[in-house]
Amino acid sequence: MAIEILIVDDEDMIRWTLRDFLETEGYKVYEFPRGKDFLSFFRERGGDIVFLDIRLPDVFGLDVLSEIQSIDSSVQVVIMTAFGDVETAVTAMKHGACDYISKPYDLAEINHLIKKIIDTSLLKNQLTLLKEKIGENFNEILGDHPKMRTVREHISLASQSDSTTILIRGESGTGKELVARQIHLQSNRRSKPFIDVNAASVSETLLESELFGHERGAFTDALHQKKGLFELAHEGTLFLDEIGDLSPHLQAKLLRVLQERRFRRVGGSSDINVDVRIITATNADLEISMEKGVWRRDLFYRLNVFSIFLPPLREHPEDIMLLAKFFLEKFRREFSKEIRGFYKDSSDLLQAYFYPGNVRELKNLIERATILETGNQISVSSLPEELRTQRKNQVKFSPVIEKPWEKPGFKIRDYVNSLEKQILVDVLNLAGWKKNNAARMLGLTRYALRHHLQKHGLENNPEEKGDLSTLVKNRGGFPP
């Protein structure tokens, strides 16, 4: 993401001028007139670079510097001093500041100083952190199932190229962003930015401005020029999640970037060349979208040069406890808990659950259980209610497959329709009649599921109509 710069100065004009300039350069900027307000924010949110006035109205700047160092020594602090107060600046640098500027300052000088910090100290710290995490991140792509081994093999293959466009496909929660980051970390672009954006989380207008930037006056609120994510990701990787939600207009603009490696800011008149590796991801069925005419075929073929499919957790249930133990070890250390493992009934419950939210849901579930558990093993009482009540809500179904075609009046169409209906009811009950979850379990789109439900008159939960017992009663057999 964008570099975060924090300005701590009690002079309004200095804060405003500096913020306006830095935001036009594409940085994320926060400003604070008082040291205590800054420290409260910094303890919770952190930052990358701090411009700190040495003389503040509520606290001495050197004390703020010392507190910054104790919270996060990797943050780069630039001291702002009055003209001629070099002695104080030197003292600050001895206490951990990376540099200083004298007021009145030159904006070009500040811009040069920031780029130097990014290219040296800040980048070095980030690379060290990435190297420490690369093994841990890869370990989270766990699984002994052949499908998961294939995923890891594909990550290694994709990382060997620095320009090939990659499409990651899979349901929500399967780890698409984790895979994209791993490809970046293993590639030659690892020292450059990895920037991610979710295409479904913002409006079309805002997304266009975020991706391509805009010129001053391009629209009502465009008070200054802004660099887009393509520019900020130059020589690095841009990860576009939920790509299936892109509008036709943005599809056309993205296609141009892929073809020509250049684009224009919103409201701009000149092209900007960019060298960026694009990784996209979706849980949508793009083939169906193409058939409907809402997705461009030429863009699909550009994005789908190398495809990685992440299987839902229900397709490799033998990996559930492997993942659960990994997450437990992670969270027990984080929360300083003496938890050694899982009771057998807890393990059984975890392995019986269908996980509509996939690995993300399992991770969140284990984090919650670790917080709640007071003993030395995860007990059933620490697991969410939906796991414990799942079997109560699930209609038990063990069809006795006879040979209905040997009975008089057998019709194969009626037989297949009855079988289809009982599968729908069984899955819907298992999913608590949450249709998004049921569609995932059945491997259908929401639109396709709606069609099947209308076909069998199952648009609403029969239990709400009071006729669930009738459905259940008829599920074990087939039409005569």
Provide the β-strand partners of residue 29.
5
Convert the pLDDT of each residue in 23-60 to its tens digit: 888 888 999 999 999 999 998 888 889 999 988 888 98
Shared fold status for 146-310 and 314-393? no
Q: What does the pLDDT look like over 255-268, one tens digit per residue? A: 999 999 999 999 98
Tokens found for residue 68: 């910054």
Q: What CA–CA distance (Å, rounded) separates 2 from 19?
A: 14
Structural fold of domain 4-126: Rossmann fold (3.40.50)
Token pair 């990701």: residue: 233
Tallying the residues shown for the chain, one arrives at: 480
Give the pLDDT confidence score for residue 84 in this predicted structure.
Answer: 58
Rounded to 10 degrees, what is the CA torsion of 340, 343, 348, 353? -60
- Is the domain 314-393 a CATH 3.40.50.620 member? no
Q: What confidence tier does 390 reach under pLDDT thresholds 50, 70, 90?
A: low
**Which residue intervals of 50-173 are DSSP H helices?**
61-71, 86-94, 107-117, 123-139, 146-159
Percent of the chain with pLDDT over 90: 39
Q: Do the Cβ atoms of 229 and 195 come closer than 8 Å? A: yes
Write the pLDDT tens digit of every residue in 459-477.
Answer: 776 554 444 434 443 444 4
What pLDDT, in 10s, does the model give residues 442-461? 877 777 788 888 888 887 76
Contact 437, 355 (CB under 8 A): no
Q: According to the model, what pLDDT value does residue 125 have?
A: 53
Quickly name the fold that domain 404-473 has: Arc Repressor Mutant, subunit A (1.10.10)
- Residues 338-373 have pLDDT tens digits of 898 999 999 999 998 889 899 999 999 999 999 999
Helix, strand, coil abundance in the chain, percent, nearest 5 = 50, 15, 35
By CB atoms closer than 10 A (0-12, 13-18, 19+), residue 283 is buried
Residue 401 reports pLDDT greater than 70:
no
Q: Looking at residue 458, what is its pLDDT?
A: 83
> What six digits make up the tokens of 354?
């269908």
> Who contacts 473 (Cβ-Cβ below 8 Å, separation ≥6)?
none
In angstroms, the CA 196 to CA 98 distance is 29
Between CA 215 and CA 209 the distance in angstroms is 9
> 């008089």: which residue's tokens?
408
CATH number of 146-310: 3.40.50.300
Residue 215 has pLDDT above 60, yes or no: yes
Domain boundaries, the chain: 4-126, 146-310, 314-393, 404-473
Task: Mean pLDDT check: name the lowest of 51-65, 74-88, 185-199, 302-316.
Answer: 74-88
